[in-house]
Amino acid sequence: MSSPAAALLKRELRLAARQRTELFMPLVFFIAAAGMFPLAVGPEPQMLRAIAPGIVWVCALLATLLSMPRLFNTDWQDGTLEQWRLSPTPMPLLVAAKVLAHWLTQGAPLVLISPLLALMFGLPADSSAVLVLSLLLGSSVLSSLGALAAALTLGLRGGTVLLVVLVLPLAVPVLIFGAGAVAAIEGGQSAAPHLSLLAAMAIAIALGAPWATAAALRIALDA
pLDDT in tens, 75-90: 888 888 888 888 888 8
Can you tell me the distance from the alpha carbon of 216 to that of 103, in angstroms, rounded to the nearest whole number? 20
The half-sphere exposure of 182 on its side-chain side, counting CA atoms within 13 A, is 32
pLDDT value for 223:
66
Percent of the chain whose predicted confidence (pLDDT) is above 70: 99
What's the CA gap between 104 and 165, in Å, rounded? Answer: 24
CB 66 within 8 A of CB 150: no
Distance, CA of 97 to chain centre: 14
pLDDT tops 60 at residue 2: no
Using alpha carbons, select from 205, 78, 59, 195 the residue that is nearest to residue 140: 205
Which sign, positive or negative, has the C-alpha torsion 24, 198, 147, 56?
A: negative
- Which residues lie below 8 Å from residue 217, measured CB to CB, with a gap of 6+? 72, 81, 84, 85, 91, 95, 151, 154
pLDDT digits (tens, 9 = 90+) for 19-72: 777 778 888 999 998 888 888 877 788 888 888 889 999 999 999 888 888 888
